[in-house]
Amino acid sequence: MNLHPRELTTSIDPVKLDRLAEVAIRVGLQLQAGQDLFLTAPVSALPLVRRIAEHAYRAGAGLVTPMLADEDVTLARYKFASDESFDRAPSWLFDGIAKAFAGNTARLAIVGDNPMLLSGQDPSKVARANKANSIAYQPALEKIAGFDINWNIIAYPTLSWAKLVFPDDQEDIAVAKLAEAIFSASRVDNDDPVAAWKTHNAELRTRTEWLNGQNFHALHYTGPGTDLTIGLADGHEWQGGASTAKNGVTCNPNIPTEEVFTTPHARRVQGYVTSTKPLSYQGTLIDEISVRFEEGRIVEASAARGLEVLNKVLDTDDGARRLGEVALVPHSSPISKGGLLFYNTLFDENAASHIALGQCYSKCFRNGAALSADEIAAQGGNKSLIHIDWMIGSAEIDVDGLHEDGSRRPVIRQGEWA
């Protein structure tokens, strides 16, 4: 029995949904009075979009502009569009978005589309469309990667996503379960989620301050299928939880978040590593990834599933085979303990320590806001059209911090902070 979307919304706790909207505006964005807001969402997430608009205007938003996506419209392109369509992207739209960001418009993304929506489509068309979008979106992405503005990502429990995570449950039960998992991970399952985020941010800040005080030259990972040394960028700075954007607003870009992260040196990564969780990327599940690095670059790659897509990702551009982020997450994080595979990086990356191929974040450098692109590159920062996180942490992984003099200090032991 297929339920009407309105019937499915009754499976979602309205009080917690409203708290999530409030947290997105007050914690995720810390939206400023008079500031415009641009948000994107699946059309099925309209109940959350409406609540966010209410909280945004109550906070003094200038103008809230939503843009909605529909899964059937997306699939129609792959079924009926001409072949030439897959090398095009609406650059006029992305230019407008970049202009909005340059004018201090805040950015909010609600995720929830079916992660496997494109799994049955031609991988070459998916790759071409993604590359065209990445190129067209680059001016806007630079404002996000450079942390020019306050931005935030949250999630909504859509039916298509819920059925993937809970395939054996009835539709209403699956949506209810996914909703509760999202609310728990987002810390809105209590009476004062804003205070809960203040406490959590303080804990993450303690971790980043310790790591910044150590000023490690590299991190060494060991475990099953892994012996990897990741050099850290010159002048790197660890971040986690709330951070201050170049426009002066302190925000939480990801809700949920359990990670502390920084920028690796794009030319100082050596060794091999195996993924510990599947990567869901553009409708394809890439599992059991194994890669080997030489002088910062992936020179060998394999996967038990999704290898064709992985290889297309690695061939995106010169920076796609190098790292742009390294993040530490304890194995005992709430998302890890929940035991769910969300098929969504926003959640799955917060279940395990991870690395990201591609573009680095300028905010992960000391005085990063003042550094030019050339200065960031000279200090080891990577540049690419992509930024894709995949998980390498588990209860069997150890991490040591290496100082420049060769001395080492335990950082992670059996997946937990040492």
CATH of residue 92's domain is 3.40.1830.10
Band of residue 283 on the pLDDT scale cut at 50, 70, 90: confident
Residue 61 lies in a domain: yes
Same domain, 176 and 223: no
Q: Which amino acid is at 75?
A: L
Q: Which of 159, 185, 211 is at the close of a domain?
A: 185
Residue 353 lies in a domain: yes
pLDDT mean over 278-290? 89
Task: Decide: helix, strand or coil at residue 39.
Answer: strand
Q: Do 92 and 116 sit in the same domain of this protein?
A: yes
**Is residue 196 domain-resident?**
no
**Confidence label for 7 from pLDDT (cuts 50, 70 and 90):** low
Last residue of a domain, one of 156, 185, 214: 185
Residues 205 and 138 in one domain: no
Q: Sort 180 into a burial class: Cβ within 10 Å, 0-12 / 13-18 / 19+.
A: middle
Residue 400's domain comprises 201-250+258-417
Judge if 289 and 207 occupy the same domain. Answer: yes
Q: pLDDT class for 6, splitting at 50, 70, 90?
A: low
Task: Give the pLDDT band of residue 179 (cuts 50, 70, 90).
Answer: very high
Residue 59 pLDDT > 80: yes
Q: Is residue 192 part of a domain?
A: no
Please report the sign of the dihedral spanned by the C-alpha atoms of residue 400, residue 403, residue 406, residue 409.
negative
Mean pLDDT of 191-216: 96
SS3 371: coil
Identify the top-confidence range among 47-51, 135-139, 414-418.
47-51
For 277-295, what is the mean pLDDT? Answer: 91
Residues 150 and 81 placed together within one structural domain of the fold: yes
Query: Where does residue 368 rank: exposed (0-12), middle (13-18), buried (19+ CB within 10 A)?
Result: buried
For residue 195, is it within any domain?
no
Among 138, 156, 185, where does a domain finish?
185
Find out whether 130 and 15 touch, Cβ atoms under 8 Å.
no
Q: What pLDDT does 23 receive? A: 98
239 & 268 share domain = yes
With pLDDT > 70 as the criterion, what percentage of the chain qualifies? Answer: 98
Shared domain check, 216 and 83: no
Task: Indicate if 316 and 275 belong to the same structural domain.
Answer: yes
Write down the pLDDT at residue 345. Answer: 87
Long-range CB contacts for residues 88-91, cutoff 8 Å, separation at least 24 = 88/132, 89/129, 89/132, 89/133, 89/135, 89/136, 89/137, 90/136, 91/136
Work out the average pLDDT over 1-18. Answer: 76
- pLDDT given at position 368: 86
* Average pLDDT, integer, range 157-183: 96
> Same domain for 67 and 151?
yes
Asked whether residue 191 is domain-assigned, the answer is: no
Query: What does the alpha-carbon distance between residue 251 and residue 319 come to, in Å, rounded to a whole number?
Result: 28
Q: Which of 32-36, 99-103, 241-245 has the lowest mean pLDDT?
A: 241-245
Any domain includes 193: no
Rounded to the nearest integer, the mean pLDDT of the chain is: 94
**Do both 284 and 180 map to the same domain?**
no
Number of domains into which the chain is organized: 2
Residue 194 lies in a domain: no
pTM of structure = 0.89
The answer to whether 238 touches 364, Cβ cutoff 8 Å, is: yes
244 and 343 inside one domain: yes
Q: In Å, how far are 57, 84, 141, 339, 386 from 101, measured between CA atoms?
A: 19, 30, 10, 37, 19
For 342-387, the pLDDT digits (tens) are: 999 899 999 999 999 999 988 899 998 889 999 999 999 999 989 9
| pLDDT, position 5 | 56
Task: Kindly tell me if the per-residue pLDDT of 1 is higher than 60.
Answer: no
DSSP H helical ranges for 215-323: 307-314
209 and 178: one domain?
Answer: no
